[in-house]
Amino acid sequence: MMSHTRRLLSLSTAMVLATTSLAFAEPSAELIEAAKKEGMLTVIALPHTWCGYGELIANFKKKYPEIQINELNPDAGSADELEAVRANKDNKGPQAPDVLDIGLAFGPQAKEEGLLQPYKVSTWDEIPAEAKDADGYWYGDYYGVLAFGINKDVVTGTNPASWADLLKSDYANQVALAGDPRTANNAIVSVYAAGLSTGADAAGAAEAGLEFFKKLNDAGNFVPVDAEAAPIAQGTTPIAINWDYNLLAQRDGMNGNPPLDIVVPSDGVVAGVYIQAISAYAPHPNAAKLWMEYLYSDEGQLGWLAGYCHPIRFNAMSAAGKIPQELLAKLPDAANYAKAIFPSIDEQNAAKATITTKWDSVVGANVQ
């Protein structure tokens, strides 16, 4: 349910990779040789400022200098990527993408349409089952979780640590969503996450979330303003509910003016997932597989994390002590990240239908 808008992320991948020892399982010699013979990899929708992709692409080039990377339309969205595959089914030229980075909801659609080919990376078992296609046609690559961005010039006391804390009188006229829950995915999933925090199951989380925000609004704590960076900094929306990677980038951009704390709540931790896939018509299928092996290696996963996008293997790597402390220090509490729930596409669609149609009648706050 994450927006596919690419955001400016700032932490240097090179700094992180230089300060940790990485266990990178080398792909087979046969795959490397086959990829080198193809000599090219065509990617699409990978701006260098998004999720550390600039450094990831540069490091892949250094590791495999025989493979040229052809970068198509860095500002494309998921639908644009699939259209590029459709339009180039019979084209083996430079406009045909080999690999895709798309929103979760687009994976099953692309598989059903025959646009993808299966491939399971060597670290396949560390990708959560709910974030991958069992047959290997698509697989989660990174995700964000919903968090609270807190302007400490305004919220001078204790930070809210859970969704329930937001109902306290301490936070009167301070809590806002980053978007309109009648239209914006990050706001919709925020309502869903609040519902899960009450103990509701996936089927009842949307209704429970609406009731939570009704209580929040009735208590005078909810601010019906889109909580982007400017209103957070101005103090209009001093507690903003948004994806962690957006808030972390905003924190860095504010540079302490105002100071922004980022808190992943102790309950109702919901992840929004992107996925990787290889085009069924990839002109360079072996280079595509080698790229996947790199992205899902320890080095590739830390490259995404350096860009504030949580790699899909985060929990396994954290348990194995593979994440450098200086990187963890820039993130909220890792223990709460481990609680992340990955809603299925059916659960997401059902929640969206309930929240978008009932927000006005249940909550009655016009977010602008």
pLDDT in tens, 79-103: 899 999 999 999 999 999 999 999 8
Is the pLDDT at 72 greater than 60? The verdict is yes
Q: Tell me the domain boundaries of the chain.
A: 13-143+271-334, 144-269+341-362
Least confident segment among 155-164, 246-255, 276-285, 356-365: 246-255
φ, ψ of residue 140 to 5 degrees: the values are -55, 140
Is residue 127 a contact partner of residue 312, using CB atoms and an 8 Å limit? yes
Least confident segment among 17-21, 24-28, 198-202: 17-21
Is the pLDDT at 52 greater than 80? The verdict is yes
Q: Would you call 157 helix, strand, or coil by DSSP?
A: coil
Structure tokens, 36: 């080198």
The dihedral through the CA atoms of 69, 71, 72, 78 has a sign that is positive
Maximum mean pLDDT: which of 2-11, 30-39, 331-340: 30-39
Q: Would you call 267 helix, strand, or coil by DSSP?
A: coil
Cis link prior to 258 (omega < 30° from 0)? Answer: yes
pLDDT in tens, 279-308: 999 999 999 999 999 999 999 999 999 989
Residue 49: predicted pLDDT: 81
- Mean confidence (pLDDT) of the chain: 91
Is the pLDDT at 24 greater than 90? The verdict is no
Residue 14: predicted pLDDT: 36
User: What value does the mean pLDDT take over residues 201-207?
Assistant: 97
Q: Cα–Cα distance between 72 and 95 in angstroms, integer?
A: 7
pLDDT in tens, 155-194: 999 999 999 999 999 999 999 999 999 988 889 999 999 9
Sequence-distant (≥ 6) Cβ neighbours of residue 228 within 8 angstroms? 178, 240
Structure tokens, 50: 């998004």
Same fold, 13-143+271-334 and 144-269+341-362: yes
Residue 330: predicted pLDDT: 86
Residue whose token pair is 């025959």: 114
Angle at 95 between CA 90 and CA 100, to 5 degrees: 95
pTM of this structure:
0.78
Is residue 103 a contact partner of residue 189, using CB atoms and an 8 Å limit? no
Residue 345: predicted pLDDT: 85
Residue 25: predicted pLDDT: 63
Antiparallel, parallel or unpaired: β 40-44 and 68-72: parallel
User: What value does the mean pLDDT take over residues 249-273?
Assistant: 94
Q: 83-116: b or e for each residue (b if 16 or more CB lie within 10 Å)?
A: ebbeebeeeeeeebbbbbbbbbebbbbbbeeebb
Q: Cα–Cα distance between 78 and 107 in angstroms, integer?
A: 10
pLDDT in tens, 303-326: 999 989 999 998 899 899 999 998
Better-scored residue on pLDDT, 34 or 336: 34
How many Å is the maximal CA-CA distance in the chain?
65
E strand intervals along 207-334: 239-243, 260-263, 271-279, 310-311
Identify the band that residue 59 occupies on the pLDDT scale cut at 50, 70 and 90.
Answer: very high
Sequence-distant (≥ 6) Cβ neighbours of residue 367 within 8 angstroms? 177, 179, 180, 181, 182, 187, 224, 225, 226
Residue 220: predicted pLDDT: 98
Percent of all residues in the chain with a pLDDT value above 70, rounded to a whole number: 93
Antiparallel, parallel or unpaired: β 139-151 and 116-117: unpaired
Output the CATH code of domain 144-269+341-362. Answer: 3.40.190.10
Better-scored residue on pLDDT, 205 or 13: 205
Is the pLDDT at 5 greater than 70? The verdict is no
Q: What is 13-143+271-334's CATH number, 1.10.10.60, 1.20.1050.10, 1.10.10.1200, 3.40.190.10?
A: 3.40.190.10
Angle at 196 between CA 332 and CA 143, to 5 degrees: 45
Residue 75: predicted pLDDT: 87
